Amino acid sequence: DGGITQSPKYLFRKEGQNVTLSCEQNLNHDAMYWYRQDPGQGLRLIYYSQIVNDFQKGDIAEGYSVSREKKESFPLTVTSAQKNPTAFYLCASSTGSGQINTEAFFGQGTRLTVV
Amino acid sequence: DAKTTQPTSMDCAEGRAANLPCNHSTISGNEYVYWYRQIHSQGPQYIIHGLKNNETNEMASLIITEDRKSSTLILPHATLRDTAVYYCIVRVDAGNNRKLIWGLGTSLAVNP
């Protein structure tokens, strides 16, 4: 079955440590996205990538980094510079920007807790 | 900043139609309206989208006003499994970049 997979579902880290969240898709989608969601809030865009080896900052990129070495994978690193890292992180993918009507498919999310 | 406003919460009886309103008075002519829903602690699920015309699929119908300043998502026969937060979203296209601008959503409770 095609889909988008995030792992792990729950993640605990000590303050000051970097942590990398995994996102893999087998939908052959060009575009991938990382969002952050806080309680009672909508989704905020962290980073996005329209094609391999290229990515752009979203609205709240400070304290985060990404890479896009393979089409299928778009890992997100939460660095120690991120002041409030505890949140629910969602990865999504869609067909490329050349497509007019695109829907994004989301993973099931990773809930990161920093203590 | 979100480009949409929705009621914070709504209730609906099981088996009845659920009508979820959304205001997007500042929408531009080429910006699409998307609807997603999110069941607690899961990833959002795509429902439907439209530009000007009304749209229908196996999940829902989307009614967009002629001036495009508001829309309504209709779940024709709501079930308990439709209990979720429903997000009305505007898709903004800036050159080759495409962004979904998320609001706070409507928490729909379907009651037996």
pLDDT over 80 at B99, yes or no: no
Distance from CA of A61 to the nearest CA of B (A): 15
Task: State pLDDT tens for residues B11-37.
Answer: 999 999 999 999 999 888 888 899 999
Select from A44, A50, A111 the Cβ nearest to the Cβ of B96.
A50
Residues A58-95: tens digit of each pLDDT: 989 999 999 999 999 999 999 988 989 999 999 999 88
More confident of the two residues B98 and B20: B20
Q: Which residue of A has its CA nearest to B2?
A: A42
Q: Are A92 and A105 contacting, i.e. CB atoms less than 8 angstroms apart?
A: yes
CA dihedral B41→A68→B2→B69, nearest 10 degrees, is -110
Token representation of residue A58: 């979203």
pLDDT value for B72: 97
Q: Which residue of B has its CA nearest to A87?
A: B41
**Once rounded to an integer, what is the mean pLDDT over residues A19-46?**
92
CA angle B98, B103, B106 (to 5 degrees): 130
